[in-house]
A and B are shown apart, each in its own frame.
Chain A
């Protein structure tokens, strides 16, 4: 654990309630807590969740090398899909782990995409034209988020207040940040899309912990058939099922 978490309030809260320890060992930290609504504290929207270093060390990385870049990514995804009264945000859903694994795999090295040159900028209507793989774009984008935080606020991205993170992410979204070989708007779109993918893909990919993403959305996941209920007028609440692990 290299970074000092900004505040200990939430972790302290978990510790004192006595819920955390068991849940941490079982690896089902978040699902368990959300189910119990144990983390409904007042500051839970602003809480960017940078208290989860334990989990990070537990699970390990496949792509990222430093805790710092992983934390920047975690906090950025949390701003895109924050925790609220509906349920967990990106951090609790394990979105950054999902992205870490994806970047280490086909997705990260663009193995199913046409990557031959010559490369040109092109018109907007012609789509993605970068020579960079998604892995390189994420690596650069995360470094730029960190740089921008230092430039604007003299702090690392993970140490910023939520509004400050939003300000920086908005600048990326509006293409106001210079990046090499790709626009910051493109990086932002990639980040946003990957966050939603990590929140709602089958939990076997490492995100959507405990199917909490699906539960929030009331999507039942992998069901074999709806033939018996599809004609019903009433909304059907169905316990979700995953294809693989949790």
Chain B
């Protein structure tokens, strides 16, 4: 029997970026908040010995323990789904800060076009630009409505950047801190893209260019360009993460309590409301019910969808009939690009997670798609993140993958190879979705989440197109040999791609086509909020977190309002 715990105003499941933002905002507003996190407590003091590629980048020290829980995967409905037995294609977070501890820090705002993609595509290209198998839809919120929340996140995180991109949505204020250092590698990209007629600018970064104190009084250090950023915590407290910003802000109020090793198993629903969550203390083995006026799911795309499914909240999407919204519009991302092999040695081992330059000439609808068989595009960037030796063994096509020639080639190229690459937008398709697995269970006996996913024709066309552009840029950068990425065929779970999973708990203006409303309030349970990239009805040409955070701020505002007046926020 689970022990019931006294009711609080808000209970949050998961303490990554989204959980942290909601915790800070609600606690500042005077609400009594509890955060349940299944991983452990951690902070900057734990990252002193972090420059260890093997433990942190290769063996995934900071990430989800798949022995306890994973997902199952298949490319299409005809295949039996099998468990993702080890991490690879994407990396799931666990512990205080979630993936926000070991992210890179690229911080973007999705385009005005993204939020109204259906309306704008139809208006410009007619209603049949994509076949009806693609389920694009507006998000129920516009860029202009989100702008203040975007800025709030910029300020909280102290984002470093320059407002020089001629394409992106209007910023009411410039970045809180100046851009990062422009290194010789970045300058090569800048020169090449300028001479091709594009508009390069410094990538907006949460690795801060200078020390900064945010409006909540939290201090973030200046980045040291140590080259151990993505997959690592920052030992300087210079990469903005939840455990150095929003979590301490929530703590300072005295209204917030974090409980660790607390694995939430179920959301409890009664009528058109939820009453709390059931969780397991994974250390003591005891089960508890935490009652709350408001329940917030902030446990990432996969766990948010799974918790709704196992708790029977909302209608599961069925690709056969097109009915149901839960699990619908799962999207990933595609990574076109090109690699160049140079003659001169470069300091490729130095860098920072978000040290880079980009062009957006081929992102969103910034170029004409009339004669193209796809919509959207991707931000094309060069990043200097710091190549590490185990995972960076660049060899030219045709070189053996082991033996004497491999050794010579991989060592020679280690300091002579650069890549430009894009985050290609991904459009929802009726056959790509999330559901519950009927066979495999997690360590607590709960079914695993099942992913049915493959790349679509739209993805393949976009990939090919942007790869050609990336190849031209790399040639212009002066590489001796340039190799564009291979065309993509089927999605493969092996090999890191990106942790930019989206969809499954999508937002929208109507319960007909979405799981949550624009405040991320569940259509079927007014005191349940579901927050994360799962809310995206499609995936854009950028990393997600800037947009996720803006939506979380908007949702927090909604939760505070709901706590006072109740009812639907729309």
Contact = CB atoms under 8 A, between A and B. Distances in A.
Contacts of B440: 116
B490 interface: yes
Interface stretch (A30-38, A60-68, A140-148, A211-219): A211-219
Given A113-B67, A202-B54, A230 B225 contact: yes
Given A217-B414, A235-B346, A235-B347, A126 B74 contact: yes
Interface in B60-102: 60, 65-67, 69-70, 73-75, 79-80, 82-86, 88
A125 B491 contact: yes
B225 A127 contact: no
A114 B58 contact: no
A202 B388 CA distance: 11
B73 A218 contact: no
Interface in A193-237: 195-197, 200-202, 205, 213-214, 216-227, 229-233, 235-236
Contacts of A233: 184
A201 B53 contact: yes
A137 to B, nearest CB: 13
Contacts of B407: 81-82, 84, 86, 89
A116 B411 contact: no
Contact of A230 (B59, B344, B347): B347
A25 interface: no
Contacts of B80: 120, 122
A243 interface: yes
Q: Which of A115, A122, A214 has the most CB of B within 10 A?
A: A122
A145 to B, nearest CB: 14
A84 B182 CA distance: 37
A226 B493 contact: no
Nearest to A169: B402
A45 interface: yes
Contact of B404 (A45, A126, A197, A227): A45
A42 B86 CA distance: 43
Given A118-B439, A128-B85, A201 B403 contact: no
A115 B60 contact: no
B67 A112 contact: yes
A108 B415 CA distance: 32
Q: Which of A79, A219, A225 has the most CB of B within 10 A?
A: A219
Interface string A33-74: 000000000000100000000000000000000000000000
B350 interface: yes
B224 A127 contact: no
B492 A222 contact: no
A181 to B, nearest CB: 13
Contact of A127 (B52, B86, B347, B349): B86
Contacts, number: 168
B183 interface: yes
A192 interface: yes
A123 interface: yes
Contacts of B59: 106-107, 112
Q: Which of B51, B86, B407 has the most CB of A within 10 A?
A: B407
Nearest to A118: B439
A202 B56 CA distance: 12
Contacts of A17: none
Interface in B390-406: 390, 393, 401-404, 406
Contacts of A115: 67, 85
Given A111-B67, A114-B66, A114-B84, A79 B492 contact: no
Contacts of A230: 181, 183, 225, 347, 350-351
Given A86-B408, A197-B58, A230-B181, A218 B83 contact: no
B53 A202 contact: yes
Contacts of B53: 200-202
B272 interface: no
Given A114-B66, A120-B82, A225-B225, A205 B54 contact: yes
A217 B347 contact: no
A183 interface: no
B86 A128 contact: yes
Contacts of A220: 349
Interface string A168-183: 0100010000000000
Interface in A74-133: 79-82, 84, 86, 89, 106-107, 110-116, 118, 120, 122-129
Given A116-B441, A124-B492, A218 B390 contact: no
B389 interface: yes
Interface string A130-167: 00000000000000000000000000000000000010
Given A45-B404, A79-B403, A202-B54, A235 B415 contact: yes
Contacts of A225: 224-226
Nearest to A195: B402
B404 A84 contact: yes
Given A113-B67, A126-B74, A196-B390, A226 B84 contact: no
B146 to A, nearest CB: 34
A18 B360 CA distance: 63
B494 interface: yes
Q: Which of A89, A205, A223, A226 has the most CB of B within 10 A?
A: A226
Contacts of A200: 53, 389-390
B52 A243 contact: yes
Contacts of A196: 390, 393
Given A118-B439, A202-B54, A217 B73 contact: no
B345 A126 contact: no
Interface of A: 45, 79-82, 84, 86, 89, 106-107, 110-116, 118, 120, 122-129, 166, 169, 173, 192, 195-197, 200-202, 205, 213-214, 216-227, 229-233, 235-236, 243
Given A118-B439, A232-B184, 11 more contacts: A79-B402, A113-B85, A114-B85, A125-B73, A125-B493, A216-B411, A217-B414, A225-B224, A225-B225, A226-B227, A229-B347
Interface of B: 49, 51-54, 58-60, 65-67, 69-70, 73-75, 79-80, 82-86, 88, 181-184, 222-227, 344-347, 349-351, 387-390, 393, 401-404, 406-408, 411, 414-415, 439-441, 490-494
Task: Give 8 nearest A-B pairs by CB, closest first.
Answer: A225-B224, A201-B54, A226-B350, A235-B345, A200-B389, A222-B51, A125-B492, A80-B402
8 contacts: A112-B60, A128-B85, A201-B53, A216-B411, A217-B411, A218-B414, A229-B347, A235-B345
